[in-house]
Amino acid sequence: MKIYPYNPSEFSAEFISKMRKHPDIIQMPSPRQLQSIPQLLLARYLRKGNSLSLKDYVEIATATSFPDNQDLAKKIAFQILFPNCSIREFDALIDDPNISGDFNYESQIHSEEESMSIQVQKLHDEIEFSNSFDFTKVQNVEDFVEWLLKNQNQTLFKSALLFYTEISNFYKEKITTKADLMHVAKKKVIEKINSLTPKELVAIKELGFNDLVEKYSIKKWERITIKVLSNRNLDKDFEIIKKEGTFEDLINTIKYLNEINDVFLKERPILKNILYERIKTIEHFFNAAIELNEISNVNLNEILKCSLDSLPLPLIFKLVKLLDQSLGMNIRKSLYTILSKEFSEIDLFKLKLDGDYSLLELISKYAINSSSWTSTFQKVLLLEIEKAKKAFRSHEDFKILTNIIVQLTNSCENIFCAQFISKFLNQLIYLTIESCIVPTELKDVVEFLGELKLYPKKQTIQMIGEKIGMSKEEIAELIDPPYEILKLYMNKPHSDLKKIQDLIDKLKFELDFEKILELMTLALGMNNREGLSALGHFNLKKSLEAANTVEGKNGMDRLISTLTAGDGENLIKQWFLHRDEIPTFLKTKIKDLTKSMLIDLGINYSKSYLGSLTPGLFQTNLVRPYEIGDTYEDIDLEETMLNLLEKGKIIEHITYDDLFVSISSSGKRSVCIEMDISESMTGEKLAYMAICVTMLVYGMRKDELGITLFEKNTHILKEINQKIDLEKLADELLGLKSRGTTFVEKALLWARDQFKKSFNSKSKVNILFTDSDIYDLPDAAEILRAFKSLGVDFILVCPEKQYNIRESEKIVKLAGGQILPIKDWERFPELITNIINSRF
């Protein structure tokens, strides 16, 4: 028997020789390594019990080398074992051991080697084992194994070898004679008792070790089987197994007796009858049928009834389905017959479930095409419907039930059953609608059904809507297309502006000029100001054209008079989108309205977003009495109230000296903002930029704020220490137009000079807004560095999906700042104020 794929001694000698002669060697191999390699190869073989692979040679040659030599040792071992390997293949194999090749070894060398400490311990164990082994007996063992393999077909030796899993056992046990073989086999039989197979029991009988099984085994089937093989009397054993034997004892005993093929055993039918009498549940029946591969003669209906009382229903269905599939039975039909005919409503809901499936879902999962299944499903569904009707929030229970039926229709594997389940959807849709008792519930249900692609009849929604007191408009929203609903709202003297705007938003891609004209006609006819306002805020250009078509100049005037409705954002956006297309005689009027809305909106935004920002000088925790010239805004109300309470003064006796004012430290807040208005900054972007500028100018009127706009040229809106009129600023902002390419150097130079003027400032923030597609960024590098030296907190704000990441990172690196991307333009004013509030 060949155990070495390569002569160990020759390999060791060649390996050590090449290692010593190699120019890259760091530490010379010792003579001890020459001897240890063959010994460790043998020790590994004895430990593994399998033939050695070339991988073992490489590992041991590498592991026995000094750590500094191990990479070289691995390469040399490869070269010895694979002398015909090309340089390219060799390098690939060394670099990536997972690459396969025609190298005639079991598996590729693993890329991950064990750590040195583990390798040293392994070597230590292998050396100890090899030193303890008597190598003089190796030849004797090999000779005996060779002789044994030649005679292995003899019954005695064949039976003994059944208990030897590996040839290495002969070396470990030092087996050199037949007596050694039988002695070790006896020990192995004792170890295996209580887990013996029928084949092993037959082998034990041939070896003459029957008494060992009778003495040590506690398994009844092992004891009976060995006695059958030995032709021993079984009366006592059969009496015991009849009275005390478990279901498992009976099955295994019959199974073992079947496998030893003892055809003369008279007691086998008796054992089967005892087993069949013990079958009480479908689990017993399943185990007997599968293990013995035969169907027992039992009353299945009684077994199913007993199972329904004692076992979880999911387990029953699972076992029944497996029996139907593997043995060609039809037990599920009988099970459904029992459930539909013999189980009451109360009994059905007492069935044990495991929590993963409801009763309805379980019946669908194990569906079969039979009348008993349809009766059972229908019975359970009707029970669920009755439960939903009695629920506190009935419509929610019906929603859940409807969703379950939709899912079951899609998931049921039986096509007939899936079609049967789907027939109940119309009934459930009606019941779900009917269960609504307030308008909000009906709206919720219709929306829910729509998500399931289920569409109730309009008459049903209308009937239930009227019953629960919904208006015609509310009902129309549920049953009519959005455009028809919009027309309904337009054809009224008064409407809800928000609802109209929401409907227009849903239809924004459908509203062409013809539809806008139709809606305008209705709104003008009913003098519906909310409708006119919503149309103007949606598309000012087309709305003016439609109003002119319907009523001429008078129609346009009526439309314009409604544009101030709402929060003002839409009007400002429409101005920037359509200002060049507005008739000349109307432009000034619309601009004045927009300007008024811009100022109001800027002030409102300032109060909302900048309300927590204390204006002017930095406040401290110190206070002083009020002096003539102080503003009422500077009075510290908390300290003043505490002072009055301590003194116990009444209102008539309060003087200026009783009022406390916060002491401000020297220095103001300084903020400079540079905004990009190049060609990409159009429409909505300009609108929110204008709102933001107006808000900041109002909210920071006591601080130092400078704002400039830039494209190819720079447009200064406000110097850092300049007072400016809001109306004049708004007028200038509404005249802004995006143009040109992006040049930032002059804008940054302006900001730097502004901060230099602000020598008394205690905190400085610069906000640059741009998409970073800048043409003169190299020229602006030195100016950006200056912000860092001036102690300016530099923030770069960029449109999230439209900015140059590489250039942006370069900007903040030069200025020592950070990038803040903005996703939604509507949040631009909020973002800017959050930046300022967080810095101050």
The pLDDT tens digits for 728-782 are 888 888 888 877 778 889 999 999 988 888 766 667 889 888 876 778 888 888 8
Q: Same domain for 166 and 106? A: no
Reported as a single tens digit per residue, the pLDDT across 66-101 is 887 888 888 888 888 877 665 455 555 555 444 333
Q: Same domain for 224 and 269? A: yes
Q: Quote the pLDDT of residue 542.
A: 92
Q: In 3D, which of 347, 352, 350, 285 has the Cα closest to residue 315?
A: 352
Token pair, residue 294, equals 């035969």
Q: Quote the pLDDT of residue 664.
A: 53
Please report which helix (H) or strand (E) contains residue 602, including its range. Answer: helix 584-609
Reported as a single tens digit per residue, the pLDDT across 405-464 is 999 999 998 999 999 999 999 999 999 999 999 999 999 999 999 899 998 999 999 999
Q: Same domain for 676 and 807? A: yes
**Is the residue at 286 inside a domain?**
no
**Look-up of token digits 């008079």:** 561
Neighbours of 392 (CB within 10 A): 6
Q: Same domain for 141 and 58? A: no
Q: Same domain for 631 and 684? A: no
Q: Same domain for 730 and 799? A: yes
Cα–Cα distance measured from residue 512 to residue 503, given in angstroms and rounded to the nearest whole number: 15
How confident is the model over 230-238, as a mean pLDDT?
70
Domain that holds residue 686: 669-839
Cα–Cα distance measured from residue 610 to residue 596, given in angstroms and rounded to the nearest whole number: 20
| Residue where a domain terminates, one of 278, 303, 319 | 278
Q: Quote the pLDDT of residue 89.
A: 53
Token pair, residue 394, equals 């009935």
DSSP codes, 202-232: HHHHHHT-HHHHHHH---HHHHHHHHHHTT-
User: What residues contact residue 130 under an 8 Å CB cut-off, 6+ apart?
Assistant: 39, 40, 42, 43
Average confidence score pLDDT of the chain: 81
**Is the residue at 87 inside a domain?**
yes
- Per the DSSP assignment, residues forming a β-bridge with 710 are 676, 714
**Is the residue at 372 inside a domain?**
no
Q: Using DSSP bridges, classify how beta strands 669-676 and 704-710 pair: parallel, antiparallel or unpaired.
A: parallel
**Is the residue at 573 inside a domain?**
no
Token pair, residue 316, equals 């029953």
| Residue where a domain terminates, one of 117, 133, 149 | 133
Q: Same domain for 659 and 749? A: no
> Which range, 14-28, 177-191, 543-557, 637-651, is most confident?
543-557
Q: Is 253 or 792 the better-scoring residue by pLDDT?
A: 792
| Residue where a domain terminates, one of 133, 156, 182 | 133
Distance of alpha carbon 368 from its chain centroid, rounded? Answer: 36
Token pair, residue 419, equals 């079609």
Q: Same domain for 148 and 259? A: no
Q: In 3D, which of 325, 407, 410, 326 has the Cα closest to residue 368?
A: 325
Q: Same domain for 162 and 217? A: no
Q: Could you tell me the sign of the dihedral formed by the alpha carbons of 390, 396, 402, 404, in that order?
A: negative
Q: Is 620 or 734 the better-scoring residue by pLDDT?
A: 734
In which region does residue 566 sit, left (phi positive, over 0), alpha (psi from -120 to 50) or beta (all else)? left
- Per the DSSP assignment, residues forming a β-bridge with 797 are 769, 820
Q: Cβ(763)–Cβ(748) under 8 Å?
A: no
**Is the residue at 24 inside a domain?**
yes
Token pair, residue 153, equals 């077909």
Token pair, residue 131, equals 């030193």
Token pair, residue 203, equals 């082998």
Reported as a single tens digit per residue, the pLDDT across 493-512 is 988 889 898 899 988 888 99
Longest CA span, the chain: 127
How confident is the model over 642-650, as a mean pLDDT?
76
Q: Quote the pLDDT of residue 130.
A: 58
Tally of CA atoms within 13 A in the half-sphere of 80 that contains its CB: 26
Q: Quote the pLDDT of residue 443.
A: 92
CA distances 164 to 43, 175, 181, 188, 260, Å, are: 20, 12, 10, 8, 21
Q: Quote the pLDDT of residue 435.
A: 93
10 Å CB burial of residue 52 (0-12, 13-18, 19+) is buried
**Is the residue at 71 inside a domain?**
yes
Three-class secondary structure of residue 255 per DSSP: helix
Q: Quote the pLDDT of residue 416.
A: 93
DSSP codes, 391-428: STTHHHHHHHHHHHHHHHHHH-S-HHHHHHHHTTHHHH
Q: Same domain for 128 and 145? A: no
744: DSSP letter: -
Token pair, residue 515, equals 């539809």
Question: pLDDT band at 127, cuts 50/70/90?
Answer: low
CA angle, 548 as apex, 546 and 553 as ends, to 5°?
150
- The total domain count for the chain is 7
Question: pLDDT band at 104, cuts 50/70/90?
Answer: very low
Question: pLDDT band at 403, cuts 50/70/90?
Answer: very high
Tally of CA atoms within 13 A in the half-sphere of 594 that contains its CB: 30
Cα–Cα distance measured from residue 113 to residue 59, given in angstroms and rounded to the nearest whole number: 9
Alpha helices in 7-137 (DSSP H): 8-21, 31-48, 54-63, 70-81, 87-95, 116-132
Percent residues over pLDDT 70 in the chain? 86
**Is the residue at 638 inside a domain?**
yes
Q: Could you tell me the sign of the dihedral formed by the alpha carbons of 248, 254, 255, 260, in that order?
A: positive
- Asked if pLDDT for residue 183 goes beyond 90, the answer is no
Identify residue 745 by its one-letter amino acid code: E
**Is the residue at 426 inside a domain?**
yes
Q: Same domain for 513 and 389? A: no
Q: Same domain for 655 and 777? A: no
Residue 799 — φ and ψ, nearest 5°? Answer: -60, 130
Q: Of 370-374, 550-554, 771-775, which gets the smallest average pLDDT?
A: 771-775
User: What residues contact residue 51 under an 8 Å CB cut-off, 6+ apart?
Assistant: 2, 3, 4, 5, 45
